[in-house]
Every structure is written in C-alpha cells, then in structure tokens.
Amino acid sequence: MNNVLLETEQFISQIPSLCDSAKKKDIAIGVAPSYLSLALVEKNKGDMLIYSQEVRAEEKGAYTGDISIPMVKDFHIDGSLVGHSERRQYHNETNLECNKKIKALIANDLSCIYCVGETLEEFEANKANQVILEQIKDGLMDLTSVDMQKVVIAYEPVWSIGTGKSASKEIAETMCKYIRDLISDMFGKDVSNNIKILYGGSVKPNNIHDYMLEEDIDGALVGGASLKADSFSQLIENI
C-alpha cells in the first residue's frame, strides 16, 4: 500500500531506462502496483510485466471492496500475485482460497505469482518444510502440467519481510530447491525444471547478486527496494 499517483508518475518516467538496463542483462522485470495505479503504469509499461497485487476468484457479485479478474483484465495486465503473506496474515487467506484464485486466473489466460513461506514461529520450530508442503500441495491442487506454465512460485519467509532480516542465501536456496522437488513430485521433472522460483524477503540492491547466484533461485520478488526507480535500477545493475 505505497505510492500515490504523483509518486507513480515519477516512477514511470524512468521505466524506459529501467527496461533498457534489463534488456541488456536479458532479465524480465515487472511491478505489482496498487489498483489505482494500474491504468497509469500499464499505459507506460514498456517491456515491463504488470501484475495485480490481489484478485477475487469470483467473477462478479456482492463482494464490496473486492476486485475481480475481469476488472483487472481491462488494464491488459499479465497476472496477479496470489497468497502473499500479508493477505494470509491480515485477511486470513487460506491455501484453498489461493487455489481457487490460481484456477480462475489460469481460466482467464493470466499468470500468477503464488507466494509461500513460513512465519518466524514456524521457522524456529523447524516446521518450515511442512508449512511449504501444505501451501504447495493445496494451492496447486488439481492443476495440470499445462496450467503450471502460467505459475511462478515466490518463496517469502514471513520473518524476513519488512524486518530487514533477510534469509541467508543458503536458507533461501535450500527452500527453493525443496519447492522445486515438490513441483517435480507433483508435476514431473520437465515442469520443475522450467518453473521459475523467486526469493522474496528484504531483498535489496546490496544482496540481490548473492541470491541470484544460487542454482534454484530464478528471480526476486522485491518489496520496499522496488518502490523508487533509483533503487529499482540498482537492483537491475547488481544482478
């Protein structure tokens, strides 16, 4: 819940240079702005991917304040985040609700970035693997291998989001490899080899390079460090 329209205008003025820098490094970049900024960003997106932060699975109905997939499709976006830890924490979003949203996005020919991760309490109790197992198994339930072409997984340990306490590259790699193995068990080696797995959690310009060196980390889902064009540019530069 950041960036009013004036701040968004300042950001989009730098999109051409951000896209040029990303193209030189052969990396894909994107943003997930607030609903109120979607139209403005989409008109000026260049080669950027545009994602909604959240959608409701139902197409329409008496759900005051919620946003449907047909509504965000009007902005020609690429997809939506699903299951972000803050949605799980503050809106009690469950794995099965995430599953409904993922299926609805795919049915609308949109992609999703499915977020999974454990809390500090779960991490310290050595329950991280069990939590991730349930999130992956339930969230991706009944999807096909073809469906999985529309899915990106983002591992975000809740204890490292917005705390400045980032998971070590070793922890991040171990968990991303675990996720890839789970995908292999569910959908086969081809799917697990091709799926993109991101790390998120206090990713900054000064640590993104180390994360990106790890074998099973294909990208980053960045919070605060992505809000301004200057730090976004530094993220690209340091990959």
Active site residues: 84, 156
* Both tokens assigned to 19: 């896209």
* Both tokens assigned to 162: 């917005």
CB contact set of 155 (below 8 Å; sequence gap of 6+):
116, 117, 132, 172, 175, 176, 179, 197, 198, 199, 200
Strand order in the sheet with 111-116: 30-31, 49-52, 79-82, 111-116, 151-155, 197-200, 219-221
176-212 in b/e form (b: 16+ CB < 10 A) is bebbbebbeebbeeebbeebebbbbbbbbbebbeebb
Are 198 and 152 in contact, with CB atoms under 8 Å apart?
yes
Of 79, 77, 3, which is closest to residue 34 (Cα–Cα)? 3
User: Which three-class secondary structure state does DSSP give residue 197?
Assistant: strand
> Any idea how long the chain is?
239
